[in-house]
Amino acid sequence: MKNIRHEPVAPTRAQWLAPGAAIDAHRHDDHQIVYASRGVLAITTDAGSWIAPATRAIWVPAGTVHAHQAHGRLQLHLIGLPATDNPHGLDEPTVLTVGPLLRELILAYTRTPHDGSPERRRLRAVLLDQLRVSPQLPLYLPAPTAPPLKALCEILHTNPADHRTLATLGKQVGASDRTLSRLFKTDLGMTFPQWRTQLRLYHALALLADNTKVTTVAHACGWSSASAFIDVFRRTFGHTPGTHQPQ
């Protein structure tokens, strides 16, 4: 990432971002919780991308160079925490579950006066307690570094509905399916089917945020039917895709 901006203190605020809007690469000396109460948020680093609908938040550790991308009209909530406050002990971006209580705590903390009142300190303490018990989720799309893998992943980024096998794709990028399968595990830490499913879910969330019909999303992202898409989506997120469409 080029032109990295350094912000010593991570902001705590709520703001709106237009569909497709971005916040360029930057880093903070503080940890940051990034949450979208409306729309879908993606955070990208050199290592990959994390995506979060309104039932998820993204933990960004202090010093991490990252950029934000809005899908749909995004209401963004940012909470900066000192580097000493790390409930999960995380040293890389991580998607966390946001239950009803944690959601309300985040909303309250980003709209109350930023003072040192006892009430705000108590609110912050409860917020940290809830973060501590918030389950971590593997909603992460790692970025490849090996040249043939980069070429293959770019093909599927361009068309997530591409159904070709690893062997067929390998012929296009000049690598055997055995080599590519090994690279997926060593370079990305997951199998080809796992990565492709993550990619399709990533694109699906972005399309849903733009109010694309569920059936259209299913076919655009490579599922044979809306019911197959809904089944995978429900098993991953715990609810149906229609939940993520703007009202």
238 falls in which pLDDT band (50, 70, 90)? confident
pLDDT at position 212: 93
Contact 63, 92 (CB under 8 A): no
pLDDT at position 113: 76
Q: Supply 173's token pair.
A: 């990028």
| Better-predicted residue by pLDDT, 28 or 112 | 28
* Segment 146-198, tens digit of pLDDT: 999 999 999 999 999 999 999 999 999 999 999 999 999 999 999 999 999 99
* Segment 46-87, tens digit of pLDDT: 999 999 988 899 999 999 999 999 999 999 999 999 999 998
What are the structural domains, with CATH classification, of the chain?
Answer: 5-140 (2.60.120.810), 144-244 (1.10.10.60)
Looking at residues 20-30, what average pLDDT do you find?
Answer: 94
CB atoms within 10 A of CB 62: 19
Three-state SS at 57: strand
Tell me: pLDDT of 3 over 80: no
pLDDT at position 236: 87
The pTM of this model reads: 0.89
pLDDT at position 1: 55
Dist. CA 50–CA 139, nearest whole Å: 6
Residue 215 dihedral angles phi and psi, to the nearest 5°: -65, -40
CA–centroid distance for 157 within its chain: 15
